[in-house]
Amino acid sequence: MAILDAKIPEGSLAEKWTQYKNSVKLVNPANKKKLDIIVVGTGAAGSSAASALGELGYNVKVFCYQDSPRRAHAIASQGGINATKNYQNDGDSVYRLFYDMIKGGDFRAREANVYRAAEVSSQVIDHYTALGVPFARDYGGSLTNRSFGGVQVSRTFYAKGQTGQQCMLGSYSSLNRQISEGTVTMFSRREMLDLVLVDGKARGIITRNLITGELERHSAHAVVLASGGYGTIYYLSTLAIQSNGTAAWKAHLKGALFANPSFAQIHPTSIPQLNEYQSKLTLMSESLRNDGRIWVPKEKNDKRHPNDIPEEDRDYYLERRYPAYGNLVPRDVGSRAAKERCDAGYGVGPTGLAVYMDFRDAIKKQGDKTIEANYGNLFQLYDTITGINPYKEPMQIYPSAHYTMGGLWVDYNLMTNIPGLYAIGEANFADHGANRLGAASLMQCSGDGYFILPFTISDYMADQIKTPRIPVNLKEFDEAEENVRKRLEKLISINGTQTPTFFHKKLGKIMWDYCGMVRNEEGLKKAAELVKELKHEFWTDLKVPDNLNELNQEIEKAGRVSDFFDLAGLLITDALNRKESCGAHFREESQTPDGEAQRNDDEYLYVAAWEFKGEKIPHQLHKEKLKFEEVEVQVRSYK
């Protein structure tokens, strides 16, 4: 267990980061030019990291599988980005944001990392504003805020329902500036398919050129993974459909520990699945819960039109169960409460798997115009997809897979246990514990990329200045490329009868049914069996058309799905191991009499970091004990 040193600096929580920055090793500008850094991913995390590193003078190579870095999944984030500006004078502070995240994450995140994320949040907003991100303003011209789930202050900066788009375009613009200055080289339509280690250090990657199918080698002194989350393991999710876990998984196979893989967030408010062809679920931003009231009819099977159901026949179940936070409870709590009502037979809509989110009262109070100004594009999105006008009748919503708190294990430096391999943004596990608060991801991704990694990587790079540029003809590159080639050839030569999508859908259903919002021992064991069987079927009956040496979207999918099978296995193992309920991980065996999550701090106050030991050999569990020095570990209550 010696390998799990989180390297948290000494000192009080509020001073750690400052002291760290004061003592970190630096690299002089002339040397930076000779040092190469690979960044995989161009989302809010990757773009900001690449541009900040480029500004510093490192020689940066960036990769994404989309045709343009601007299209990374972060572009789809909607509701907002948190910062501790306290512009609203409502009592906010770094400590409060830190505390909200620690509590929101159900005391399963590392104090020092979370505190630092809160600490840099204000700089993120300043930087984005300077980059031209048009955050919402009030009539005096100042930036304005709204509140988000799980908190009692207004600290969320937003740009209508397109905050992620605007932040993403901000970081993309800083990336473009570095590309034009020649510090950053962009490789789009490339997929990283392996990590290359030389003498145990991360020294490069193998990519597939998605247009020509060619395998390419790229070397560097350090590799940063900013490859996003793996929520698409559920097939249907609110993520972009190409999002996947491959980059992180490949690093895992090379020795990087995977932490808390079963911590997957199910978001309470997305448009319910309408039919079997559906390829994704559309999120209705959490910000809507500021004004939307969530309810179901008090009677089962009430078939009346929602507008005809009078007040006394409505059950505003969140307001009823959680009077202190009401509709703004955290996501895990909101999702489970919706599932509970629907499972009990009170659900609405054609499938009974939906609840109402109603804006009637808000419109009455604030008028159509204000509501439109705040949520116009979301209302329109809802209308386009469902044909229902939310100004006139309540939205129907249901939980859906959304975000993965789990990810590559990193220390305080954001470095994995592989020297020189970093993980930032959604790809790491560090800041959100067992449940992420709304608007805290963009904040973390951008903070990691702009304000944290550039410091922490310097500590490592300072020791690399004597290492000349890494050649790509080393045997380690030969081997890695050969392995990638073999796996692709294997996938395409199965020549069975079913498509990658067929298997992905089936896998997603198993994960949703047994490893989604609620889990239990029996179900998880069953899921493990089902995944094993399906994986076998995949490797014997998969059909991938066409060839490897051309643009072939099916081989891309096949590769990602093949990794999902292995990741699913680990996710289930992790969920089985954690015999407690915490945050998004709800084990039915572990609940209070009134159905709330019951943690077991005596046994599970740790980060579960899993080590890959080889095919067919069980993963080894390493525990990073969580020490809470600043906050008292409490029962998380929103009542």
Partner 1 sequence: MKVRLKIWRQENAKAKGAFVTYDFEEVSPEMSFLEMLDALNQKLIKKSDSPIAFDSDCREGICGSCGLYINGRPNGPEKGISTCQLSMRAFKDGDTIYVEPWRAKPFPVIKDLIVDRSAFDKILHAGGFISVNTGSAPDGNSILVPKEYSDLAFDSSVCIGCGACVAACKNASAMLFVAAKVSHLALLPQGRPEARERVKNMVMEMDRLGFGNCTNTGACEAECPKEINLTNIARLNREYFTAKVL
Ligand X SMILES: Cc1cc2nc3c(=O)[nH]c(=O)nc-3n(C[C@H](O)[C@H](O)[C@H](O)COP(=O)(O)OP(=O)(O)OC[C@H]3O[C@@H](n4cnc5c(N)ncnc54)[C@H](O)[C@@H]3O)c2cc1C
As a whole number of angstroms, the distance between CA 48 and CA 421 comes to 17
The nearer residue to partner 1, 47 or 219, going by C-beta atoms, is 47
Give 138 or 513: the residue with its C-beta nearer to partner 1.
Answer: 138
Among the listed residues 551, 626, 633, 632, the one whose alpha carbon sits nearest the alpha carbon of residue 110: 626
**Nearest residue to 404 via CA among 265, 266, 270:** 265
Per rule CB under 8 A, is residue 89 in the interface with partner 1? no
Q: Is residue 515 part of the contact set for ligand X (CB under 6 A)?
A: no
Query: Helix (H, G, I), strand (E, B), or coil: what is residue 178?
Result: helix
Which region among 96-104, 156-164, 576-584, 622-630 touches partner 1 (by CB under 8 A)?
156-164
639 Cβ partners below 8 Å, 6+ apart? Answer: 321, 322, 323, 324
Spot the catalytic one: 70, 71, 110, 331. Answer: 331
Q: Which of 60, 75, 102, 597 binds partner 1 (CB under 8 A)?
A: 75
Contact between 480 and ligand X by CB under 6 A: the answer reads no
**Least CB distance to partner 1 at residue 68 (A):** 5
214 binds partner 1 (CB under 8 A): no
Residue linked to tokens 């392995």: 483
> Could you say which of 11, 134, 350, 595 contacts partner 1 (CB under 8 A)?
134
User: Which one, 23 or 384, has the nearer CB to partner 1?
Assistant: 384
Q: Which of residues 269-288 bind ligand X (CB under 6 A)?
A: 283
Residues 6+ apart with CB under 8 A from 168: 43, 44, 47, 70, 72, 74, 75, 77
Pick the binder of partner 1 from 3, 26, 130, 344 (CB under 8 A).
Answer: 130
* Structural contact between residues 272 and 353, judged by C-beta atoms closer than 8 angstroms: yes
Contacts of 529 (CB under 8 A, 6+ apart): none
Enumerate residues 157-216 that contact ligand X by CB under 6 A: 163-164, 190-192
CB under 5 to 8 A by kind: which of partner 1, ligand X, none does 442 bind?
ligand X
- Residues from 454 through 473 that contact partner 1 (CB under 8 A): 454
Q: Residue 522 contacts by C-beta under 8 Å, 6 or more apart in sequence?
A: none
| Interface with ligand X, residue 458, by CB under 6 A | no
Q: Of residues 252, 339, 402, 432, which one binds ligand X by CB under 6 A?
A: 402
Q: Whole-number minimum distance, CB 180 to partner 1, in Å?
A: 4
Largest CA distance in the chain: 75
- The contact pattern for ligand X, residues 60-79, with x = CB under 6 A and - = no contact, is ---xxxx-----xxx-xxxx
Residue among 73, 108, 190, 519 that touches partner 1 (CB under 8 A): 73
Distance of CA 612 to the CA centre of its chain: 22
Sign, CA dihedral 408-410-413-415, equals negative
Q: How many CB atoms lie within 10 A of CB 436?
A: 30
In sequence order, the 6+-apart residues with CB closer than 8 A to the CB of 475 are none
Those residues with Cβ within 8 angstroms of residue 469's Cβ, 6 or more apart along the chain or in another chain = 34, 36, 219
Site for ligand X in 4-43 (CB under 6 A): 40-43
Instruction: Provide, rounded to whole angstroms, the least separation between the CB of residue 165 and partner 1.
Output: 6
Of the candidates 15, 90, 126, 361, which one interacts with partner 1 according to CB under 8 A? 126
129 binds partner 1 (CB under 8 A): yes
- CA–CA separation, 139 and 137 (whole Å): 7
Surface-to-core class of residue 89, CB atoms within 10 Å of its CB (0-12 exposed, 13-18 middle, 19+ buried) = exposed
Report 336-395 residues binding partner 1 (CB under 8 A). Answer: 381, 384-385, 387
Among 27, 35, 37, 45, binds ligand X (CB under 6 A): 45
- Rounded to an integer, what distance in angstroms lies between the CA atom of residue 356 and that of residue 338? 10
Unique residue bearing structure tokens 């609620």: 518
Using rule CB under 8 A, residue 236 touches partner 1? no
List the one residue out of 218, 199, 219 whose CA is nearest residue 207.
Answer: 218
Selected binder of partner 1 within 82, 165, 285, 400 (CB under 8 A): 165
Residue 454 binding result from partner 1, ligand X, none, given CB thresholds of 5 to 8 Å by partner type = partner 1
Of partner 1, ligand X, none, which one sits near residue 42, judging by CB under 5 to 8 A according to partner kind? Answer: ligand X
Is residue 590 within the footprint of ligand X (CB under 6 A)?
Answer: no
Return the range that interacts with partner 1 (CB under 8 A); candidates 60-68, 192-200, 244-252, 472-480.
60-68
The CA–CA distances, whole Å, from 82 to 61, 155, 304, 451 equal 29, 6, 40, 15
Residue 262 in the binding site for ligand X (CB under 6 A): no
Task: Specify the residue, 209 or 467, whose C-beta has the smaller distance to ligand X.
Answer: 209
Residue 376 Cβ vs partner 1, minimum distance, rounded to whole Å: 11
State which residue, 80 or 500, has the beta carbon closest to ligand X.
80
Q: Is 459 exposed, middle or buried (0-12, 13-18, 19+ CB in 10 A)?
A: middle
Question: What is the pattern of x (binds partner 1, CB under 8 A) and - over residues 264-283?
Answer: ----------xx-xxxx-x-
* Partner touching 138 among partner 1, ligand X, none, CB below 5 to 8 Å by kind: partner 1
Catalytic status, residue 331: yes
Interaction partner, residue 551 (partner 1, ligand X, none; CB < 5-8 Å by kind): partner 1
Q: Of 429, 341, 445, which Cα lies nearest the Cα of 622?
A: 429
With a CB cutoff of 8 Å and minimum separation 6, the contacts of 320 are none
Kindly compute the dihedral angle of the four CA atoms of residues 179, 185, 191, 196, in this order, to the nearest 10 degrees: -140
Stretch that binds partner 1, among 6-14, 158-166, 337-345, 418-426 (CB under 8 A): 158-166
In angstroms, rounded to a whole number, what is the distance separating the alpha carbons of residues 316 and 320? 6
Q: Interface with partner 1 by CB under 8 A: which range of 145-153, 333-341, 448-456, 464-472?
A: 448-456
Which of partner 1, ligand X, none lies near 135, with the C-beta cut-off 5 to 8 A by kind? partner 1
Residues 413-452 that bind ligand X (CB under 6 A): 425-427, 439-443, 445
Residue closer to ligand X (CB basis): 145 or 227: 227
408 binds ligand X (CB under 6 A): no
3-class DSSP state for residue 311? helix
- Number of residues in contact with ligand X under rule CB under 6 A: 46
CB atoms within 10 A of CB 16: 20
Q: What's the min distance (Å) between Cβ of 139 and partner 1? A: 5
Angle at 291 between CA 288 and CA 293, to 5 degrees: 95
Question: How would you classify the pairing of strands 606-611 and 620-625?
Answer: antiparallel
Residue 612's closest CA among 263, 254, 262? 254
- The nearest distance, CB 523 to ligand X, in angstroms, is 25
173 binds, among partner 1, ligand X, none (CB under 5 to 8 A by kind): partner 1
10 Å CB burial of residue 66 (0-12, 13-18, 19+) is middle
The residues that touch ligand X, with contacts defined as CB under 6 A, are: 40-46, 63-66, 72-74, 76-81, 163-164, 190-192, 226-229, 238-239, 243, 246-247, 283, 402-403, 425-427, 439-443, 445
Please list the active-site residues.
331
